[in-house]
Every structure is written in structure tokens, then in C-alpha cells.
A = this chain, B = another copy of it.
Amino acid sequence: MVSTTTEIVYQRPESFTDVHTHYCPGCTHGTAHRLVAEVIDEMNLREETIGVAPVGCSVFAYNYFQMDFVEAAHGRAPAMATGIKRVLPENTVFTYQGDGDLASIGMAEIMHAAIRGENITVIFINNAIYGMTGGQMAPTTLTGMKTTSSPLGRDVEMTGNPVQMAEILSQVKGSGYIVRRSLHDAAHIRKAKKAIRLAFEAQNRGLGFSMVELLSSCPTNWKMSAQEALDFVGEKMVPVFPLGDYKVNPALEKLRV
């Protein structure tokens, strides 16, 4: 006996507002937002979550998530999140930060949030550039990459090598879940979502600091089409920023999501 039903394979997450984002077409900030919203939906955390927006292209993140949000000073999101989490330990607190925000001006705050084992989740968007201010060099900018502040291409002699935050933060005892994922195609996006899920699970279980570094695109400042930008992530960024699990608290390993 046979019957057909219509199922919805995918729809816009509930934790999203119905606002058109200001991101450039094809910018994977949107993808990252969506994954976070989906995870929060799945875990049913929307009403208890407090997001901390950075200064960067995602400065207006609070307009797109249907939940309580604050807007931090440039680089200080982890400090602000700490201030919140310590007085509201029962709430879920996450920061969303770019690479200039987290790896440059915010280096001390992210390091010490991890060192304290602050029980927060950090979504780290590594797009190898300063988007909002128009394409200056980030600590994550690839060697030789031309930016508006490295017009001849990043010179290792003068500016050093691209900084690998996942590797560095995994050195810190306090961290509970530190991984790097990429957003350059559907398969990797699915893996990225799993990681974000685990990061929030880590927080819920009080396992300490969790961060998901997401290799992301900036078609506008890379001066590429959306698809070219994703290809660049896959072909050029992944080799410099190896994907993988850098620190996983044993309590999470069993977990299937």
C-alpha cells in the first residue's frame, strides 16, 4: 500500500529574523550565520542564548538573529562574553568574530578567555582580510596576497606568517573544543555545522572554552566572483589552515550529532 507526502527538506531557520542581510552577494558570513541559527534551533536554545557581535562586517549580526544580542568593541567580544557568562552562567553565550577582530586587536581577549577556560562558544570567521574597512591585511592574510595595506603582497619578512589561531588556542589547557572547518562547498558546510553543534554542546556541558574557526570568503575585497572566492578558500586557504580537530574534550568524542 503506497502513499506520497510532501516533506520540507530545508527551510530558513527560526532563529533568523526576516531581514535581508547587508553582506555582499555570496559572502559566507551568511552561511556561517545560517549554520549557527540552525544549531540553535536544533538545540532549542534561542530563548536562552545571548550573542555577542564584533566590529567587522558582521557588526550588524544582531539584526539577523532572532535572539538577545549585544555589540562589542573591536576585538573585545570575548571579554564582553565573559562579563555576561559570569553573571548568567545558565545562559548560552557565544561570540561571532572576524580575523581582524579576534586574531589582531582581540588577541589578548581571546587568549585569556581560553586560558580561563571561559565557558563560552566562539565562532571565528577567518576570511584572511579586513572586510569592513575595505580589504587591509589581516594576521591571517596568505603569504604574497595583495591587500590595500600590503599592496605588493604580504611580505613574510616584514609582516610574518599567517597566524593559525586554532593551533595556538589548542595549546591552552582551558580549551574544551577547538576545531577548524571550511565553508567552501556543501560537504564542508555540513561538517562545519556539526562542529558548531559540538561547540555549543561543549558549552552546555560546561566543558570550557570552545571555538570553531571557519575558513570563509570575501569576494568583494578579494575581487573575485562568489564561486571563485569559494574555490580560493578550498584551493589556497585550506593548505595554509589545515582543517581538523585541534582539541576535543573526551566527553564530546562519544557524542553523535
Among all A-B residue pairs, the 8 with the closest Cβ atoms = A161-B173, A107-B108, A108-B108, A116-B160, A160-B174, A115-B160, A117-B160, A168-B171
B171-A171 in contact (CB<8A): yes
- How many copies, total? 2
Number of interface residues of A (CB under 8 A): 25
A171-B160 in contact (CB<8A): no
- A139's nearest neighbour on chain B, judged by CB, is B115
Residues on A close to B: CB < 8 A? 104-108, 111-112, 115-117, 139, 156-161, 163-164, 167-168, 171-174
Bound complex: CA A116 to CA B107 (Å): 14
Partner of A172, one of B116, B156, B159, B163: B163
B117-A156 in contact (CB<8A): yes
B163-A139 in contact (CB<8A): no
Chain B residues positioned under 8 Å from A161 (CB to CB): 115, 117, 172-174
**Nearest CB of chain B from residue A182's CB, rounded to whole Å:** 21
B171-A116 in contact (CB<8A): no
Chain B residues positioned under 8 Å from A173 (CB to CB): 160-161
